[in-house]
Structure 1
Amino acid sequence: MHRRLLSLARSSGFTLTLTILLGWGGGILTIVQAWFLARVVNDVFLGGQLREAVLPLLGILLGALLLKSAFIWGADVSANAVAQAVKADLRARLLTHLSALGPAYTQGERTGELSTAAVEGIEQLDAYFSQYLPAIVLAASIPLTILLLIFPLDPLTGVVFILTAPLIPFFMILIGKAGESLTKRQYNTLSRLSAHFFDVLQGLTTLKTLGQAKSQAQVIGEFSARYRDVTMQVLRVTFLSALALELLATLSTAIVAVEIGFRLLYGNMEFLPAFFILVLAPDYYQPLRNLGLRFHAGMSGVTAATRIYEILDTPVPDRVSGVKVQVSGEPLAQPTLTPETLTLDTISYTYPSRETPALDNISFTIPHGKMTALVGASGAGKSTLASLILRFIAPQSGQIWVGETPLEQIPPEVWRQQVAWVPQNPYLFQDSLAANLRLARPDALEADLLTACRRAGLEEFIASLPGGLQTLIGERGARLSGGQAQRLALARAFLKDTPLLLLDEPTSSLDPGLEASLEASVRELMQGRTTLVIAHRLSTVYQSDQIVVLEAGRVMEIGTHSQLIARNTTYARLVESGK
């Protein structure tokens, strides 16, 4: 058994206990059923009793059968309840942990593989908790209960039970070990297939444009063939295991039947206990056979859990987690942005996959209520700096200060309430305009949404839609143009209404006409806010109150446009090369 999965099952509390008790109760009723069946056969065929005399026994037999069915049904229901509760808890923990790890982790992983772990992987745990785990408990408890009953009644049969029963789990584990590596290969192949298929779907337009759609279809076909082959290998081992265990159980039952038959033939055993044991013998081995049938489902669950716990065991950087800051004995609910409140003090950061630092000893202040532009070539560290301020990653040395409070001491969820982020390519969900807007402020009224849209320049577009704000925009905003998607991102920022604004120059990827129409909305959004802009165009830089020039992760110079041009150094060269 997987120790951590077992601890998850225990967390379900009484439901798991109920599953075990109902399953064991079904086993007890199987014994009762076998005893009264043996009594009926003995009394009618050997005792010569009339039908009326055995009617009470038949009634008890029928009652035991019905009650056993109810117990088995109840055990199935409660086992499924355990599985559903554990899956929901594990999925919530996984999503929470991925959220805590942030984009710095998810961008380094294939989205399709993470999706497979969060969806298909967790679903594979269903059979582990609803079938395999109860089968283990019943395989240990029911044969032991039967053995304790049979051994005083017939020690010889008890010895046969003791000698033959361990053969089934032994061969189950022996064959299962061979299938364990195949199960891992099957899951890993499925993960790679899902990841590649997801990549192809996302890049289908590019593939069609480059004429590579058919070649990628062939690659998917190759992945599918590999998955089919490894699945067939797993099924062969599973069927071989089932056949071997079935054969062992049948032979063991036959041994019991033969040794009892000989003793009956020579008059060394009475019919009633002999027939009772013969009826009960298949039920002694049945829980062990069931465990063998569920073994593959158990191994699939363990394989999926291994990947899930790899993600859950990925440590969240300590300085990203945040702690409650005490001010006069009260928890800090909201950080207060004061003049020159946001200060970066000797910040350094190196990505795990690289040797050279993305940021190296960065220090500067972002003035309150002013616009600061980050300028630099691609790879200079601009996006890394934004990720640090958004607390997607944490500095490995140095400190970011909010006033006199270290940023790391402010819980991320509290800090992000103070920050609006408008990326170059905003992510839009397959939902309505209103739902996408309310991501910024879930309690916003429709009037608030319309006001934000008007300020972002979306009023006429929304008025033209039959469904208005309830119009579905498609996956990643497929039904919106690039300019409309950018305006929707600006509307989110207007709706959030935060004192700190981070912009990855939302107009840089638009044509000049659209850029000009958006600039008015962007300028209105920046009014009165502390703004940090990742600048890609000189038109943005000219109107900045402060320009921070980055090169190879270092601050080369700071000043206004005119000051930096006058120095005729790094910034002047960037301006000249951008003309």
Structure 2
Amino acid sequence: MIKTRLLKQLGSSSRYILWQILCQWLALLGQIAFIFALAKILTGHPAWLLLLLGAAVQLLGQYAYNQASFRASARVKEVLRGKIYAKLLRLGSSFQESIKPSELVQLTGEGIESVDSYFSRYLSQFAYAFLAPLTLFAVFVRIDAPASITLLCAVPLIPIVIMVVMLVAKKILNRYFAIYHQLADTFLEKMQGMTSLKVYGADSQAEAELAAESEHFRRITMKVLTMQLLSTVVMDTVAYGGAACGIAVALNEIRLGRIGRQEAIVLILLAAAYFLPMRQLGSYFHIGMNGMKASDQIFAFLDLPEAASGQAPVPDKTDIAVRGLSFTYPGADKPALSQISLTIPAAGFTAIVGLSGSGKSTLATLLAGRQKASQGQITVGGLPLDQISASGWLQAVTLVSADSYLFKGSVRDNLLMAGPA
């Protein structure tokens, strides 16, 4: 469950993963030193300095790990949101033709958070879960080979359980995210159309639809949680069962006189440490699955085809001409605009009036570049609009729709948000 493309996208940020692994490994060495010192003290051999040193290294390693996780979290959000924003700019104001607003909100919100957890927690734990048992085995095989081999052989049972759960979880999670996106889309649609729903008395029907989809989502969520709970129970059984087997072997070794009390104490206290990193990886399993799914959606968005964009600068104070402009919405029976021609002079104030549904808003979105005309052409100073830089046009033209929102402050304050003077 390693997403190589994600690591490449994040570039130098991947160093935080290596730093996390190193910090966890240092904390493990501190724990080993602490247990050795404790075993010496319990058997009458003072080792307070080693005890304090082990505790300090363990605490320092854990602190550094948390710091690296925080930096990784901040960096992955910054990089991915920057890439999504840059993609939106390249798609232009007509980006809604490629992605639904609800999907974009989910992508930049919960989607980024899922990838963040995958990058800042799961990946480092994935590597450490294999490094820790090998380190412990290298240390303890000289103390008592039978117990160490027993513990090491039981560790792979946890990844086997994870792989089995993964096969079952993949189908459930695919359904989970599909239902989740549908619910988000429906909720956003109903909220945006709240006024129309109230006017036409359809709010009760909308409420019933939302309730039905919410119940569907609740059921699939409970299936996901049930799967995670069952996998946790199985992994706990394997982990602590394996530790118990190792402890039993160690107790038998001390009974036979092959190891002393000090070695037996060390093996007993550290038996669970063989399994806890892999057990922790199992608890991060859902984080890994969510992160993988979210990264797939992010890459699908970043891979969307981009229309060829013009590079010409916006002409300064020139007329806008519309010639033979037609536009039909997808699935509509008739065009919203048909063979419209007009000239908007650079100087003065131009008003376009007409009956409701005559195409005024559609013409405004076409002039702003949010939609592409089915036929006809828009020129600015004789230059076709599709040859003008999309980012430059966005800076030159502002579309204020009828359902715009005013934030706290004056109208002037709201307008200055786009470009403080």
Scaled to the shorter chain, the TM-score interval is 0.7 to 0.9
Query: Where does residue 307 of structure 1 map in the other structure?
Result: 297
CA gap of 1:152–1:201, structure 2 versus 1, over 3 A, is: same
- 1:427 and 2:404 are equivalent in the alignment: yes
**1:87 matched residue in structure 2:** 77
Change in Cα spacing, 1:343 to 1:212, as seen in structure 2 (3 Å) is closer
Kindly indicate which of the two structures has a greater share of residues assigned to strand: 1
Kindly indicate whether the alpha-carbon contact (under 8 Å) linking 2:103 and 2:181 is maintained by their aligned counterparts in 1.
yes
- Deviation at residue 28 of structure 1 after TM alignment: 1.6
Deviations 1:234-291 (A, max 9, x none): 1111111111111111121122222222222222334433432332221111100000
**Residue 368 of structure 2 corresponds to residue 390 of structure 1:** yes
Mapping 1:211-360, distance limit 5 Å: 211-319=201-309, 322-323=310-311, 335-336=315-316
TM-score for both structures, normalised by structure 2? 0.82
Instruction: Give yes or no for the alignment of 1:19 onto 2:5.
Output: no
Aligned residue for 1:180, secondary structure, equals helix
- C-alpha deviation, 1:420, in angstroms: 5.2
Asked if 2 retains the 8 angstrom alpha-carbon contact of 1:26 and 1:72, the reply is: yes
- Residue-by-residue CA offset, 1:52-95 (whole Å, 9 max, x unaligned): xx1xx123213322331232133123212211321233233324
Aligned equivalents of 2:413 and 2:157: distance in 1? 59
Does the aligned pair in 1 maintain the 2:16–2:71 contact within 8 Å?
yes
Give distance in 1, aligned partners of 2:104 and 2:54: 48
Q: Judge conservation of contact 1:343–1:363 (CA < 8 Å) in 2.
A: no
Q: Does the 8 A contact of 1:167 with 1:248 survive in 2?
A: yes
Partner of residue 87 from structure 2, selected from 80, 88, 97:
97
Query: Map of 1:59-98 to 2, 5 A cutoff?
Result: 59-98=49-88
Q: Is the aligned partner of 1:178 residue 2:179? A: no
Within 1, Cα distance between the matches of 2:63 and 2:247?
31
**286-295 or 342-351, which moves further after superposition?**
342-351
Quick check: 2:326–2:374 contact (8 Å CA) kept in 1?
yes
Query: 1:261 & 1:61 partners in 2: Cα distance?
Result: 24
Query: Residue 28 of structure 1 corresponds to which residue in structure 2?
Result: 29
Change (3 A) 1:70 1:171: same
Q: Deviations over 1:24-47 (max 9, x none)?
A: 2111212222222222233x1xxx
Letter in 2 for 1:167: L
Partner of 2:414: 436
**Per-residue deviation, 1:205:** 3.3
SS, match of residue 231 in structure 1: helix
The answer on whether the counterparts of 2:30 and 2:56 sit within 8 Å (CA) in structure 1 is: no
Higher relative contact order, chain-length normalized (CA < 8 Å, sep 6+): 2
Residue 62 to residue 367, structure 1, CA distance change in 2 (3 Å): closer
Structure 1 unaligned regions, length at least 5? 326-331, 444-579
C-alpha offsets along residues 397-422 of structure 1, whole Å, 9 cap, x if unaligned?
99866557665454222234444546
Q: Which residue is 1:536 aligned to? A: none
Q: Give the structure 2 partner of residue 141 of structure 1.
A: 131
Which 5+ residue runs of structure 2 have no aligned equivalent?
none
Taking a change above 3 Å as real, the CA distance of residues 439 and 349 of structure 1, as seen in their structure-2 partners, is: same
Q: Which moved more, 1:19-28 or 1:299-308?
A: 299-308
CA positional deviation for 1:308: 2.9
Distance in 1, Cα, partners of 2:251 & 2:238: 20
| Amino acid across the alignment from 2:413 | A
Distance 2:406 2:17 in 1: 38
| In 1: Cα distance, 2:48 partner to 2:236 partner | 31
Q: Partner letter of residue 434 of structure 1?
A: R
- The CA distance in 1 between the partners of 2:260 and 2:138, in whole Å, is 20
Report the residue type matching 2:280 in the other structure.
N
Task: Report the identity percentage.
Answer: 28
Deviations 1:275-325 (A, max 9, x none): 323322211111000000111122122223333333222222123xx43x5
C-alpha distance in 2 between matches for 1:11 and 1:379: 52
Mean Cα deviation higher: 288-297 or 107-116: 107-116
Supply the distance in 2 between the matched residues of 1:103 and 1:207 (Cα, whole angstroms).
27
1:428, 1:436 within 8 Å by CA — same for their partners in 2? no
Q: Letter of the 2:30 partner, please give it.
A: L
Any idea what the Cα deviations from partners look like across 1:323-355, whole Å, max 9, x if unmatched? 3x5xxxxxx5x53456x7x67799998878799
TM-score by length of 1: 0.62
* CA RMSD, Structure 1 to Structure 2 (Å): 3.8
